[in-house]
Amino acid sequence: MPKRKLLIAGTLIIFLAFTLSYNFVKRNYVFPILMYHSVSPQAQKANRLSITPEVFERQMLFLKKFGYNVVPLESLLSFIEEGKVVPARSVAITFDDGYRDNYTYAFPILKKYNLPATVFVIINEIGRPQQDRLSWQEVNQMRSSGLITFGSHCMGPEPLINLKSEEEVKRQIFDSKKALEDKLGEKIVLFSYPEGRFNERIKCLVREAGYKLAVTTSPGKRFSSRDIFALKRLRISSNAGNLFVFWVESSGIYTFIKEHRDAD
């Protein structure tokens, strides 16, 4: 085969491979919502939900240095409701439970790099005697920065699907919203299911309470990535201390990989 034909054939193959790869990524892309818990110098490998401040700062610097568009979680609403495409390399940062170390260690790093985040707090644990949870004063300081948005993680930590009565489920959902609104003096529209567990009735109650968006963990591929009351998140664990792992997890395609690796 003449060299010219080989060159044309090779170019076509490369173009076809690129097109197929691009379409695959576009079709299976899920907006990366990073889920953190504790950021502490005492983070241990035994507690995979805790990472050190050093690891957290490396990750935030990575996002900043490589041009990621870190957006407030609430900004997803307009994209999804209006059917818009989320800008490439966008990502949102969230924290669950309301650990005090979010204020002590994570918050200064977020301020340093001017990165917004959402913290979902368990109301009954705010300011608890063990001092490992945020106080209301710290919550207000973080909110006043303009970088941190707060959402409800219910009154207590028990997964809603474990509760016996619908009245108790409603109390957890509705009362936590009211408590936050009374304390912060603003509408609370973001919700996180305890342990990421829910059912359709719980989803309906969250919507009925007036929330605009709810996040879970890994509900599985049967749920659309554009379901604003079951948004999928990526649990950032000690494994993501490796920046290659962190890059893969924040790529937007990792959710597809995970859902096809794990059973629903």
pLDDT in tens, 62-106: 999 999 999 999 998 888 888 777 787 899 999 999 999 999 999
According to the model, what pLDDT value does residue 37 have? 95
Q: Mark whether 16 and 43 lie in a shared domain.
A: no
According to the model, what pLDDT value does residue 46 have? 52
Q: Mark whether 18 and 7 lie in a shared domain.
A: yes
Q: Mark whether 43 and 72 lie in a shared domain.
A: yes
Q: Mark whether 96 and 185 lie in a shared domain.
A: yes
Q: Mark whether 114 and 183 lie in a shared domain.
A: yes
Q: Mark whether 96 and 180 lie in a shared domain.
A: yes
According to the model, what pLDDT value does residue 24 have? 39
Which residues face 231 on adjacent strands?
A: 215
Low-confidence ranges of the chain (pLDDT < 70): 1-28, 45-46, 219-221, 223, 256-264
Q: Tokens for 69, please give them.
A: 């568009």
According to the model, what pLDDT value does residue 4 have? 52
Q: Mark whether 170 and 230 lie in a shared domain.
A: yes
According to the model, what pLDDT value does residue 263 have? 53
Is residue 213 within 8 A of residue 73, CB to CB? The reply is yes
Q: Which has the closest alpha carbon to 28: 249, 243, 264, 221? A: 221
According to the model, what pLDDT value does residue 2 have? 61
According to the model, what pLDDT value does residue 23 have? 42
Q: Mark whether 12 and 45 lie in a shared domain.
A: no
According to the model, what pLDDT value does residue 1 have? 53
Q: Mark whether 160 and 240 lie in a shared domain.
A: yes
Q: Mark whether 61 and 187 lie in a shared domain.
A: yes
Q: Which has the closest alpha carbon to 74: 204, 212, 171? A: 212
Long-range contacts of 137-143 (CB under 8 A, 24+ apart): 138/100, 138/103, 139/98, 139/183, 139/184, 140/183, 140/184, 141/103, 142/102, 142/103, 142/107, 143/184
Q: Mark whether 222 and 253 lie in a shared domain.
A: yes
Structural domain tally of the chain?
A: 2
Q: Mark whether 66 and 91 lie in a shared domain.
A: yes
Q: Which has the closest alpha carbon to 193: 153, 241, 149? A: 153
Domain span holding position 23: 1-29
Q: 246 Cβ partners below 8 Å, 6+ apart?
A: 59, 62, 236, 240
Cα 223 versus chain centre, distance: 16
CATH number at residue 234: 3.20.20.370
Q: Look-up: residue for tokens 């920046």?
A: 243
